[in-house]
Amino acid sequence: MPNEEKRSNQTRNNYRTFFSKGEGTVPDRRQTKKNRRTSLSTILTQFQRFAQVESSAGILLLACTVLALLWANSPWAETYNRFWHAEISFRVGTAEMSKSLLHWINDGLMVVFFFVVGLEIKRELLVGELASPRQAALPIAAAAGGMVVPALIYTAFNYGDVGQRGWGVPMATDIAFAVGILAILGKRVPIGLKVFLVALAIVDDLGAVMVIAIFYTSELSLGYLVIAGGVVGVLALANVGGIRRPAVYGILGMVLWFATLKSGIHATIAGVMLAATIPARSRINQTEFVDEGKKVLTEFEIERQHGKTHLTSHQLSVIGSLEEKAEDVQPPMQRLEHGLHPWVSYLIMPVFALANAGVAIDTHMLSSLLDSVAVGVTLGLVFGKQIGITAFSWIAVRTGIASLPAGVSWRHVYGAGWLGGIGFTMSLFIAGLAFGASPLLNVAKVGILSASALAGVGGYMLLSKVSSAGGDEGDQNAKS
């Protein structure tokens, strides 16, 4: 078997780890065909669970967006602004930090969101869709097109104007909404398209993080930059030294967040830097875990056969040993991602939407749809995304550096390009960095909300009409 095919098979097997709850690392190549079929079933089951979390999170995100809009346009609209701009202070000795609730959400809670994004990126690079150059080529090319073309369209409408700074707004894709729509479509779309869209969105997130760090950074403080760099160095040493306790990384992460906040780089970048230092290897492999588990469970069974009605001290010791082995076989990276993902999906992102999506819709705001900022954002997300994702994917396949996943047709890719236009969370976040308290922020929000709605409805309608013939076409393209 050629090396390329071996790597492809290995990466498909690695999906078990990619969408797992942290059961281990790279699968054993010597597994039997029966085990491989079982593994594939596990992969699909785990991906379906992942998609269910994202889809239900997308529904909650949509509900909070609607609630924010209703609140901001109700008779109690003034309380919306007053609530989110209320000052909250923390004091330690003589040191005090005071920010509005909105800033604590955007600069504090969203750090956890970016930390999970960083863990997802690291997992993808190690054992996921981006681990194999051949498989990574398609989502990377698609994400590149989905970032470059929208930015160019936006710049074409705002070059040399005050709104030019918002060129990064239409570059983002909201994975929760996009995967949520695919979940609604169910079996009408192939599993390969869902994996492709998730990988694309993660590469897109990586691009957005780089844009924020490089282009949306205020004046830098060299002293705090040095402190932040030193903390990252200590975190890396902790990783190399085999330290696996989350508390150690959590305490150092807080110091990193504070130093990054004061350095001039946006504080959320601290979450990504922290994620890069989290250990990704398990202390024991799967075989050792199975062997040790059988050994201690045998000891437990021997004690049980003595007819005791309660746990003996030895059985309690066995349970403790099994818990230690269960922790040792789980890489901290996967354990943290699995543990934090529900909090991000069901709390942090909905709170962010509730705090940032409230826009007062009146005749003046509706007229702002014709503003160059809103036009650039809308056209960038709705048309720039679909053109960029489809065109760059086609180039990657035609040049031979990538191939379509099995069962995925070009109509599927084009539909995914529409769903890529759902910017929402990251777009709102970048808009806040680009425009601050400027009136253009609300103009950009109107463009983001309208474009995300158009892209979501358009993507759903297109993908729902893709017939089974499209899957056959995808198979032929994937083989060519």
Nearest to 347 by CA among 151, 148, 60: 60
Burial 337-361 (b: 16+ CB within 10 A, else e): beebbeebbeebbbebbbbbbbbee
Question: Which run of H or of E encompasses 342?
Answer: helix 332-343
pLDDT score, position 13 = 45
Q: Distance (Å, rounded) from C-alpha 232 to C-alpha 236?
A: 6
Q: Distance (Å, rounded) from C-alpha 104 to C-alpha 145?
A: 33
Cβ contact 25:331 at 8 Å:
yes
Per-residue tokens: 345: 């999906």
Per-residue tokens: 424: 């929402």
Q: Which segments of the chain have a pLDDT < 70?
A: 1-55, 307-309, 467-480
Angstrom distances, CA of residue 373 to CA of 69, 74, 235, 368 = 20, 26, 41, 9
pLDDT score, position 130 = 81
Cβ contact 77:361 at 8 Å:
no
Cβ contact 218:258 at 8 Å:
no
Inter-residue long-range contacts of 245-250, CB under 8 Å, 24+ positions, other chains counted: 246/332, 246/335, 246/336, 249/274, 249/277, 249/278, 249/332
* CATH number for the segment(s) 58-111+132-217+339-479: 1.20.1530.10
Nearest to 119 by CA among 289, 292, 339, 302: 339
Helices 269-276 and 191-215: crossing angle in degrees, nearest 10, is 120
pLDDT score, position 16 = 39
Residue type, 301: E
Q: Distance (Å, rounded) from C-alpha 460 to C-alpha 185?
A: 8
pLDDT score, position 233 = 96
Q: Is 308 helix (H, G, I), strand (E, B) or coil?
A: coil
What residues contact 434, with CB distance under 8 A and at least 6 apart? 165, 166, 168, 169, 216, 444
Give the end-to-end CA distance of the chain in Å, rounded to a whole number.
19
pLDDT score, position 255 = 95
Q: Distance (Å, rounded) from C-alpha 19 to C-alpha 12?
A: 11
Question: Which pTM does this prediction carry?
Answer: 0.76
pLDDT score, position 34 = 46
Neighbouring CB atoms inside 10 A of 478's CB total: 17
β-strand pairing of 87-92 with 95-100:
antiparallel
What residues contact 455, with CB distance under 8 A and at least 6 apart? 381, 382, 385, 418, 419, 420, 421, 422
Cβ contact 207:151 at 8 Å:
no
Neighbouring CB atoms inside 10 A of 178's CB total: 29
pLDDT score, position 271 = 92
Per-residue DSSP letters for 33-86?
HHHHHHHHHHHHHHHHHHHHHHHHHHHHHHHHHHHHHHHHTSTTHHHHHHHHT-
Show the DSSP H helices in 133-190 as ranges: 133-158, 175-185
Cβ contact 443:374 at 8 Å:
yes
Neighbouring CB atoms inside 10 A of 393's CB total: 28
Q: Distance (Å, rounded) from C-alpha 112 to C-alpha 104?
A: 12
pLDDT score, position 127 = 80
C-alpha count within 13 angstroms, C-beta hemisphere, residue 405: 21
Cβ contact 13:42 at 8 Å:
no
Cβ contact 445:373 at 8 Å:
no
